[in-house]
Amino acid sequence: MEQSTCDLSDAYGEQARVLPPLFRNFGGKRRFQGPVVTVKCFEDNSRVKELVGTLGEGRVLVVDGGGSQRYALMGDMLAQQALGHGWAGVVIFGCVRDTAVLETLDLGIRALGVTPRRSLKNGEGQVNVPLEIAGTRCNPGDMLFADEDGVLLIDPAVLAAKKG
């Protein structure tokens, strides 16, 4: 990552939407960035499983699990699939599990916490819909930047205008 989230926040001000400092790092990669693909699901990781089985091409999967801490929306098997398919990272407004394995993977993984309970699998969830995570808007296609200081999102049109 070329610029830190602090530098990006300074440069883009309110155009850089910062996720609240609720997310803990669980992956072996602390710094990651990429265009966002969104999933909205509640305690059911069916859509997450589908997406990590597709080519990530450096994108970041942002999962709005409603903040539930009852079920894990990602564990070691899905994280390994995401890594193998070229996803840059995953940000989950919910929980993960298998953390001893997750921390060994060269994948960015942020989540609220940990639970040993696996997710429901009822085929529910929506893909590539706008999300509101803890009061912060997250749109499909936004650029997400994550490092030791936090996670922020910037509209790609704003990035292009600033560079131009």
| DSSP run (H or E) holding 147 | strand 143-147
Domain 5-163 has CATH 3.50.30.40: yes
How many Å apart are CA 116 and CA 26, to the nearest integer? 14
Residue 77 assigned to a binding site: yes
Instruction: Provide the residue ranges of all domains of the chain, joining segments of one domain with +.
Output: 5-163
Residue 83 assigned to a binding site: no
Q: What is the pLDDT of residues 33-87, one digit of tens each?
A: 999 999 999 999 999 999 999 999 999 999 999 999 999 999 999 999 999 999 9
How many Å apart are CA 85 and CA 83, to the nearest integer? 5
pLDDT at residue 164 is higher than 80: no
Residue-level pLDDT at 163 = 76
Pull the structure tokens for residue 151: 């996670």
Residue-level pLDDT at 2 = 76
In a 13 Å sphere around the CA of 111, the CA atoms on its Cβ side amount to 28
Reported confidence tier of residue 1, pLDDT bands at 50, 70, 90: low
Residue 75 assigned to a binding site: yes
Residue 153 assigned to a binding site: no
Give this prediction's pTM.
0.96
Residue 64 assigned to a binding site: no
pLDDT at residue 26 is higher than 60: yes
Residue-level pLDDT at 162 = 81
Q: What is the pLDDT of residues 87-139, one digit of tens each?
A: 999 999 999 999 999 999 999 999 999 999 999 999 999 999 999 999 999 99
Supply the DSSP string of 5-37, one letter for each residue: HHHHHHHHGGGSEEPPTTPEE-SS---EEEEEE
Residue 164 assigned to a binding site: no
Give me the torsion for CA of 95, 141, 4, 110, rounded to 10°. 10
